[in-house]
Amino acid sequence: MTTDAPPRTPLLPAWRREGPDRIRPLTRWVGLIVLPFLAAAVAVLYLLAADTETFFAWTINPPLTAMALGSAYVGGIWYFAQVVVQDRWHRVKYGFPAVVVFATLLGVATLVHWDRFHFGHISFITWATLYLVTPALTLTALLANWREDDGRPERPDAQVPLAARILLAAIGVAALGTGLALFSAPALLIPLWGWELTPLTARVVGAVLTLPGVVNVWLLVDARWSAFRWMLQAQLVSLAAMALALVLSGGALLADRPMAPAFVATIVLSLALYAAVYLWCERLRGAAAVERPARQ
């Protein structure tokens, strides 16, 4: 005895998906191009933070600053890996504006502090090329892909609770404001910062701080958990790397500056808060997955 079964829809790899909410090939290619550079930067800035004079585009002291930048790149590896493997644009959408701002600021910092770099070194050539090209490349991919999101939630999906959205957006606004202030007026904030900075490294740290800021403000206009699930994962990875950097290079902190304990407390509390929000929203998503079949 045989029964007729409906034909199965073939499972297509993410890069072949068509229709609404797709990730366009250009966007995916940007992820593929950027990932090796991020991996190399993490190796130099995080694992060899004390040897930037030899291995990096410019000498960074203290090593804590190099590790702070490396921590951002660790999160970037997680994020751009999702750009490559995911099959829904809205899952990675809100990371691209943050990358455009970050890359643009580092491009500007490179031009402003051109004399600080190790000319002729392969890492300088790579850095300069990357940050003079990446802003335009990521902006082009962002504009080409932006309208692919139709705004609909996934099935199953969950809504990020309003309290969590407001709290994370407030943290984002604070990080964005601090980052832009540090970038635009380093001379005013360097004496207050928790460890020694130069005008160049102050601008680099400021650019790093804009990353969570630009991502989190989108929570004010979009409550879909699926639109922030992978963004929060990347931020958790980056925060964990920064927390480890503080453990390994915490001796660079200047105890007489109030921003030193404030920075440490911010990293620790943010890590705990982000983890709590992530687990909360995952529980809501799991409940939605159970409830949906029950209604069918």
pLDDT digits 0-9 by tens, 219-265: 999 999 999 999 999 999 999 999 999 999 989 999 999 899 999 99
- Residue 14 counted as domain residue: no
Which residues, other chains included, contact 212 with Cβ-Cβ below 8 Å and sequence gap of 6+? 98, 171, 172, 175, 235, 238
- Residue 7 counted as domain residue: no
Q: How many structural domains is the chain composed of?
A: 1
Spell out the alpha helix ranges (H) of the chain: 25-42, 52-55, 63-85, 95-112, 122-145, 162-184, 186-189, 199-216, 229-249, 259-295
- Residue 9 counted as domain residue: no
- Residue 71 counted as domain residue: yes
**Do the Cβ atoms of 277 and 168 come closer than 8 Å?**
yes
Which residues, other chains included, contact 272 with Cβ-Cβ below 8 Å and sequence gap of 6+? none
**Which phi-psi region, left, alpha or beta, contains residue 153 (left: φ > 0; alpha: ψ -120 to 50)?**
beta
Gap between the Cα atoms of 183 and 213, Å rounded: 14
pLDDT digit of tens for each residue in the chain (296 aa)?
A: 444 444 444 445 555 556 689 999 999 999 999 999 999 999 999 999 999 999 999 999 999 999 999 999 999 999 999 999 999 999 999 999 999 999 999 999 999 999 999 999 999 999 999 999 999 999 999 999 999 998 998 988 999 999 999 999 999 999 999 999 999 999 999 999 999 999 999 999 999 999 999 999 999 999 999 999 999 999 999 999 999 999 999 899 999 998 999 999 999 999 999 999 999 999 999 998 876 554 55
Distance of alpha carbon 268 from its chain centroid, rounded?
Answer: 18
Token duo for residue 296: 């069918």
- Residue 191 counted as domain residue: yes
pLDDT, residue 291, reads 66
Residue range of the domain that includes 169: 20-289
